[in-house]
Structure 1
Amino acid sequence: MPYLVECLASVEAQTIDPGRLEVIAVDDGSTDGTGECLEEFAARAPMSVTVVRQENSGGPSGPRNVGLGKAAGRYVFFLDADDRLGPEALERMVSMADKNGTDVVLGRVEGVNRTAPKSMWGKTLDRTDVYSSNIKFTLSAQKLFRRALLERHGMRFDESLWTGEDALFTLEAYLRADGVSVVADHTCYYLVGRDDGKHVTKSGSYTLRFDSARALMKLIDDMVPAGDKRDVLMVRPFLITLLPQFGPKFLTDSEDVRRTKLELAKPLMEAYWTPGVARRLKVHERLRLHLVAMQRPDLLLDVVKFVKEKKQAAAVLEKRGTRLYLLYPHFRSKTAGVPDEIYRAEAREASAFDGYRAAAANTFLRRALRKIRRSLPRKGFGAAAA
């Protein structure tokens, strides 16, 4: 409360036939009148409403699993009590799943008083997957899931995780799904920022983030063979879950906390950090994680300070403009010993700098020129006179 009032109003306003909709509301030990509000809603709502009241479980996984265990519909959608559905959201998402036979549907998310993921809403997609789109960067539970998929694989939220449990569940669903759809042209979900700022994802010990990263990396490792596809997915936990632990906050952490963070990261870097993951990151991201892998907090602090100041690193072009290095701290320092390749910008990042020429394109042109030269008559071997 009071966010629940608007949340329930958004459910009641859905355009899908109320006879096709069931609401299962799990009151996880609230003490602010939530239970009474739910009971009142159940008494007047036009759709089937089941209210479950239980002792507080301490996290979102338990209540979601209780609701999932009682669900009887073809699809399930997880709606947080402080958020709300967009108009026509359920009707549009169910229609998309029915039309394409897909097992997961993402509806466009808009933030209210908080930021929301953006990179996956460029285009409505009838059918896609986790490798060929940006859906890996939205792993919250607020998606439409085909219930048969979840039951077939016995999927439930991990109740041992206090944060990141939704990322684990959603990524597994993406990987197991027979196709994923994206509704990008209509806002289906409003992610609401609480006035008190108490979001689960922003609270709790930093050690919980390492638990989340560890679980997500293990899932990817278990389900996806080594290679490009695994590297593509590993970018997500490294970039979104692990790297923020070595951002500006690292500068104000105590020595003990810094040491603990590096110790927690060490086995993850040893097991899952690969050149394929590294080359998919920007230079400052790759450099920080490389220094984490090296267990060099002294060098890392210099880089974090530089990044925090939001200064543009100077660039140097080599190899006729086909190699561009960004001069973050300790570039070519003999005492630091960081390989040049860590500072080398990949084409997507390097293309913003004047004078850069993509190496691949140049290689193609050189090969084409060599082929043309080989097809020309050699000197001294002209055609025979008639």
Structure 2
Amino acid sequence: MSGTQPDVTVVIGAYEAMPYLIDCLASVEAQSIGPERFEVIAVDDGSTDGTGEYLEEFAARAAMPVRVLRQRNSGGPSGPRNVGLGLATGRYVFFLDADDRLGVEALERLVAMGDRAGTDVVLGRVEGVNRNAPQSMWRRTEERVDVFSSNIKYTLSAQKLFRRSLLERHGMRFDESLWTGEDALFTMEAYLRADGVSVVADYTCYYLVGRSDGKHVTKTGGYLPRFDSARALMRLIAEHVPEGERRDLLMVRPFRVTLLPQFGPRYLEDSKEVRRHKLELAGPLLDAYWTEGVARRLKVHERLRLHLVAERRHRLLPAVVEFVAAEKEPEAHLEDGGTRVYLAYPYFRKWWARVPDAVYLAEPSEARSVPGYRGKRKPAAKPVRPS
């Protein structure tokens, strides 16, 4: 590059990535941005399947600068990403998983958007290949959004374009103590610190590939890392956002995506000891961050389960989980002229259960599908005092 700073550094953390790595690197080589405008830093995290050797072969033939580092296995994606980030020289950094691949115009479009909008994070449309991918944030291309006014909080994976000066200014790195959810923590912090976020929705920039061999970079380690992840993300949000509606809006994400599944169908298969431990881990998180603002943004069955955990009504929880796992439809109770809908999940108006009616009250987004629902009643207008 003759001393010219690259526009973007692509950081690839790789572990046992063959044969997926072949398509991944082919997508890097095919980038329309041109080899003079980007560099690749690839970190082999102790692979034994030829991943490191293939990376070195690629580096020897590639038109763009490629640096390969090989290290002992670190146990997760944070270590390799941090190594690559520490060596990056590009104006932007893009984290690419070694079993996924880029759209041909991905880097060119993402960099162009970041430069045009002056934003610090750019999201490119993601498409799943043999696996699900986030969808709600790709409705339209937007030059400038934030984490409060959009659905970007539901895509917290690391596969995005980050302005490197943002990361360096705040000393941002991936938390190597987390076995899962490290990317959510990193990306949420970037969203909260960023001078704007852009969304490229009219082109598939990233193909999220589902592996058929069961090998993944991240080790899940059971339920404990999920609670560690939820705790870290909740603390981060609380540190950056004062109490109130905006914090509640963001807290929905760790409650719904990370904590709630621990009290889903798998809870019915847990031993008594595991159930007890999950409830002990969840209690302090609900004490600290569970609010009416979070609760009303959840569906009734989600709210009910977390309410029971928060109130230490543990003996009531299995029946609710069984009802939800069986995909039963609760009876709908329309009241106040069809302006209020209560969904009669287990214990609804059972005096001995002592669960408030408010827990069963469906918000408009959930009540809309109930026949006869007339919409939330608007408050009466205040009379205008004559002049």
TM-score, length basis structure 2: 0.93
State the percentage of identical aligned residues: 73
Question: Would you say 1:282 and 2:299 are equivalent positions?
Answer: yes
Q: Alpha-carbon deviations, 1:198-249, whole Å to 9, x = none?
A: 3456732211000000000000000000010000000000000000000000
Question: Would you say 1:9 and 2:22 are equivalent positions?
Answer: no
- Aligned-partner Cα distance in 1 for 2:83–2:218: 21
* Structure 1 position 87, deviation (Å): 1.6
Return the letter of the residue paired with 2:371.
Answer: D
Aligned to 1:85: 102
TM-score, length basis structure 1: 0.93
In the TM superposition, what are the counterparts of 1:1-386 in structure 2 within 5 Å?
1-199=18-216, 203-361=220-378, 363=379, 366-367=380-381
Return the letter of the residue paired with 2:381.
Answer: R
- Aligned-partner Cα distance in 1 for 2:111–2:308: 46
* Structure 1 position 298, deviation (Å): 2.1
Q: Alpha-carbon deviations, 1:70-111, whole Å to 9, x = none?
A: 000000000001111112000000000010000000000111
- Aligned-partner Cα distance in 2 for 1:310–1:143: 35
Return the letter of the residue paired with 1:179.
Answer: G
RMSD after superposition = 1.3
Q: Structure 1: which 5+ runs fail to align?
A: 376-386
- Aligned-partner Cα distance in 2 for 1:33–1:145: 30
Q: Alpha-carbon deviations, 1:97-129, whole Å to 9, x = none?
A: 010000000000111111111111111111100
Contact 1:163–1:200 at 8 Å: present in 2 too?
Answer: no
Runs of 4+ in 1 over 4 A off after TM superposition: none
Secondary structure in 2 aligned to 1:78? Answer: strand
Secondary structure in 2 aligned to 1:51? Answer: strand
- Aligned-partner Cα distance in 2 for 1:225–1:200: 35
Aligned to 2:14: none
User: Where is the helix percentage greater, Structure 1 or Structure 2?
Assistant: 1
Q: Alpha-carbon deviations, 1:165-201, whole Å to 9, x = none?
A: 0000000000000000001111100111110233456
- Aligned-partner Cα distance in 1 for 2:21–2:365: 43
- Aligned-partner Cα distance in 1 for 2:217–2:48: 18
Range moving further from structure 2, 158-167 or 296-305? 296-305
Contact 2:180–2:219 at 8 Å: present in 1 too?
Answer: no
Contact 2:77–2:218 at 8 Å: present in 1 too?
Answer: no
Return the letter of the residue paired with 1:134.
Answer: N
* Structure 1 position 357, deviation (Å): 2.5
Contact 1:86–1:190 at 8 Å: present in 2 too?
Answer: yes
Return the letter of the residue paired with 1:249.
Answer: R
Range moving further from structure 2, 314-323 or 123-132? 314-323
Return the letter of the residue paired with 1:256.
Answer: E
Q: Alpha-carbon deviations, 1:268-291, whole Å to 9, x = none?
A: 000000000000111011011111
Secondary structure in 2 aligned to 1:50? Answer: strand
Return the letter of the residue paired with 2:236.
Answer: L
Aligned to 1:381: none
- Aligned-partner Cα distance in 1 for 2:259–2:216: 19
- Aligned-partner Cα distance in 2 for 1:145–1:358: 42
Q: Structure 2: which 5+ runs fail to align?
A: 1-17
- Aligned-partner Cα distance in 2 for 1:199–1:234: 28
Q: How many residues align?
A: 369
- Aligned-partner Cα distance in 1 for 2:317–2:249: 25
Larger radius of gyration: 1
* Structure 1 position 319, deviation (Å): 1.8
- Aligned-partner Cα distance in 1 for 2:104–2:310: 47
- Aligned-partner Cα distance in 1 for 2:37–2:19: 27
